[in-house]
Amino acid sequence: MSMELYHKTALACSKRVALNYSTSFSLGIRMLSSDYRWAIYAVYGFVRLADEVVDTFHEHDKATLLADFKKETYRAIREGISTNPILHSFQMACREFNIGEELIEPFFNSMEEDLQSATHNAGSYEEYIYGSAEVVGLMCLKVFCHGNQERYDYFVPSARALGAAFQKVNFIRDLKSDFDERGRVYFPGVDFSAFNDHQKMDIIADIKKDFDLAYQGIKKLPIGCRFGVYTAYRYYLKLLEKIERSTVQHIMEERIRIPDSQKMTLLLKSYLRVKVNVL
């Protein structure tokens, strides 16, 4: 029997992680060309599993589990095999699209930071954003560019900006749960107990700058990935707009969401814009 069945099973596991943990983000992945889709599922499964270790495995030794996961990740990439199906699919993507340590190591640094610090200054915040989100955007960009270094270099600023924007939107919509469940406040200088409208609007203005830079790159992405990335962009932009309209009290009491009916409308509008090339 060949390894093909195991490859397919491992990739199916990564896809299931994406579908289970993020219906909104997985919506964007499903809009990608099949040439890219499997690898983006593999990347998402990898980062999601690491995130789960630091965010939810409270009754276990998270530092040891994360350290073991990191060792197994590099071993899987080095040997081209893992008995962990999530890591097996990730190493397949890494080897196919040249996703290397220069992106993986900063990601693990940020995950380790989650286990050590509950607040950030301006410097540590930027470093954390880079490792937890921007490099994930760059991993996806590696897939989209598939060895074309010139194209990759061109899109790096917008890919980093989009990853940062997604992460910052998640930070502000998860402000309550991050503080209540994990004691974290990611935004530098923000005191959860004294969070106010002025701080909210400063954060939103910063995120809008990231979205503006990201949009310039999205318009020029290859057609096979443009629809999927634009769909995710529009979804998170809609979240930000809803956060902007919400009161600080609402943000601190309830996670901001987009109803499924609006997601479908957003998907249709995104498709039409991409189809007629009016981004």
pLDDT digits (tens, 9 = 90+) for 117-141: 778 888 899 999 999 999 999 999 9
Rg of the chain (C-alpha set): 19
How far is 110 from 125, CA to CA, in rounded Å?
10
Residue 173, both tokens: 């919509």
- Residue 119 DSSP symbol: B
Rounded distance between C-alpha atoms, residue 7 and residue 89, angstroms: 7
pLDDT of res. 149: 95
Q: For the chain, first and last CA: distance in Å?
A: 48
- Per residue in 239-250, is it b (16+ CB within 10 Å) or e — as a string? bbebbeebeeee
CA dihedral 154, 24, 17, 174 (to 10 degrees): 90
**Long-range contacts made by residues 113-119, C-beta under 8 angstroms, separation at least 24?**
114/54, 114/55, 114/182, 114/184, 115/54, 115/62, 115/63, 115/66, 118/182, 118/183, 118/184, 118/185, 119/184, 119/185, 119/188
Domain that holds residue 110: 4-275
Digit-coded pLDDT (tens) for 52-95? 999 899 899 999 999 999 999 999 999 999 999 999 999 999 99
Minimal CA–CA distance to 167: which of 131, 221, 194, 200? 131
Q: Tokens 């990601």 label which residue?
A: 107
d(CA 211, CA 56): 29
Token reading at 82: 């893992």
Residue where the block lists tokens 């809009």: 31
- What's the predicted TM-score (pTM) here? 0.92
Token match 């995130």: residue? 51
* pLDDT for position 214: 97
Could you give phi then psi for residue 191, rounded to 5 degrees?
-100, 120
Instruction: Give the SS3 label for residue 185.
Output: strand
Q: What is the CATH number of the domain that holds 148?
A: 1.10.600.10
Low-confidence residues in the chain, pLDDT < 70: 1, 275-279
Among 23, 24, 62, 66, smallest CA distance to 46 is for: 66
Q: How many domains does the chain have?
A: 1
Residue 119: strand pairing partners: 185
DSSP 8-state assignment for residue 194:
G
| CA–CA dist 206, 168 (Å, integer) | 9
Q: What was the pLDDT predicted at 190?
A: 84
pLDDT of residue 1: 57
